[in-house]
Structure 1
Amino acid sequence: MPTVRLMHYDPRWKQEFQQTRSSILQTCLGWVTAVEHVGSTAISGLIARPTIDVLAGVDPSSEDPSGAILESANLIEGLNFRRTPTTDWAGESVMLEKPRHGDPTHRVFLAKTDSPFWRNAIALRDHLRDNPDVAIRFEETKIARWKSGQGDEDRYCTDKAIFFTHLMDQIQH
């Protein structure tokens, strides 16, 4: 059973994101038009799972956005990423992880920039960045759930999804 590892904020995560962003934009031949750092590693000071979560966006008004997502995924695989099954909360995105073997250090979600998944991921990140008290509450909840679940990955992901659903309800109202 995979175990979730958490660690204190590492300022190098920002640089890791910038390098990944640059690689994706250069590799994807203009199909990817926006790249955003999301997830806990994008929130300065927050304890996080040490995986850089990247949102790579395809313009929905392009000639074939679904095709652009698939072509971009093929190109990103050349950057030592592997496609993995997408979870329910990631909508219609394509998910890739790096490295190809072992625990992921980077995760890319390819999605249309007008998709609900894109909008929600950006809204959550911005809300946590703009509201340190909410970020601290999220961190405390995450650590408590991690401890009570003894690091079990499925339980950790389920508990985190519940928190995010509740937070999205608050943001949207």
Structure 2
Amino acid sequence: MIGVPRHKVLLVEHDEKWAEEFEKTKQTLVNIHGDNVVDIQHVGSTAIKGIVAKPMLDIAIVFKSLSDSVFIIMKDNGYEYFGEVVSGKHLFILRGEGGVSLQHIHCYEEKNLEHFYDQIKFRDFIRSHPEYAKEYELLKQELFKIYFNDRKKYTEGKQAFFNKIKQLIDEDFNK
């Protein structure tokens, strides 16, 4: 995994090795957390074949309990806790080397899974709709040209597209 300098953006062509890297990391996470793990999913653009992505893994993991022991175990295994993304519902942990991000771990407790399911539904929708995958890729490339030095603004620039896809998914579900 190449990784991405923190707070920056780097886009590369899809690499089949990302799926293998995910499987190795998934096994490691299961091994270190044991039966506290409910589910682990490869999310983010590295989980979508055929589109450019930042060369770092996004992983969503559901725990039975997000107790302090989760963070201690993660820290003991080279991860850094970066705080709550959504108060009490979604915690963010990073694995990196120096100033380079290699993995973003999105942690959920099994009683608060709305955002987890949103990530899975988005990934699956983009995988199964090539026209939206292409649109997403073009958006990412345009945002990269403008915000290559500002990952926060790059990410914010994708929000309208995420909302559009979420609405399409919701409309399809309610048919």
Fold conserved (TM > 0.5)?
yes
The answer to whether structure 1 residue 99 and structure 2 residue 102 are counterparts is no
Cα 1:91/1:9, change in 2 over 3 Å: farther
Residue of structure 2 in register with 1:51 after alignment: 56
Residues 85 and 91 of structure 2 are in contact (CA less than 8 Å); yes or no, is this contact kept in structure 1? no
CA distance in structure 1 between the aligned counterparts of 2:42 and 2:95, rounded to whole angstroms? 15
Residue of structure 1 in register with 2:81 after alignment: 83
2:93 partner amino acid? L
CA distance in structure 1 between the aligned counterparts of 2:53 and 2:149, rounded to whole angstroms? 13
Q: Deviations over 1:70-106 (max 9, x none)?
A: 4223212222111113445x97212111125312111
User: Which has the higher relative contact order, 1 or 2, with Cα contacts under 8 A spaced 6 or more apart?
Assistant: 2
The answer to whether structure 1 residue 160 and structure 2 residue 165 are counterparts is no
Corresponding residue SS for 1:155: helix
2:115 partner amino acid? F
TM-score of the two chains, using structure 2 as the length reference: 0.85
Give the drift of 1:155: 1.4
CA distance in structure 2 between the aligned counterparts of 1:167 and 1:126, rounded to whole angstroms? 11
Gaps in structure 2 of 5+ consecutive residues: 1-5
Residues 143 and 157 of structure 2 are in contact (CA less than 8 Å); yes or no, is this contact kept in structure 1? yes
Cα 1:26/1:158, change in 2 over 3 Å: same
- Farther-moved stretch of structure 1 (120-129 vs 104-113): 104-113
Indicate the RMSD between aligned Cα atoms, in angstroms. 2.0
Residues 149 and 156 of structure 1 are in contact (CA less than 8 Å); yes or no, is this contact kept in structure 2? yes
TM-score of the two chains, using structure 1 as the length reference: 0.86
Return the structure number with greater strand share: 2
State which of 105, 109, 116 in structure 2 corresponds to 1:108.
105
Q: Deviations over 1:123-150 (max 9, x none)?
A: 0011011111111110011111221334
Residue of structure 1 in register with 2:3 after alignment: none
- Farther-moved stretch of structure 1 (42-51 vs 152-161): 152-161
Residue of structure 1 in register with 2:147 after alignment: 149
Gaps in structure 1 of 5+ consecutive residues: 60-64
CA distance in structure 2 between the aligned counterparts of 1:169 and 1:134, rounded to whole angstroms? 13
Cα 1:104/1:86, change in 2 over 3 Å: farther
Residue of structure 2 in register with 1:125 after alignment: 123
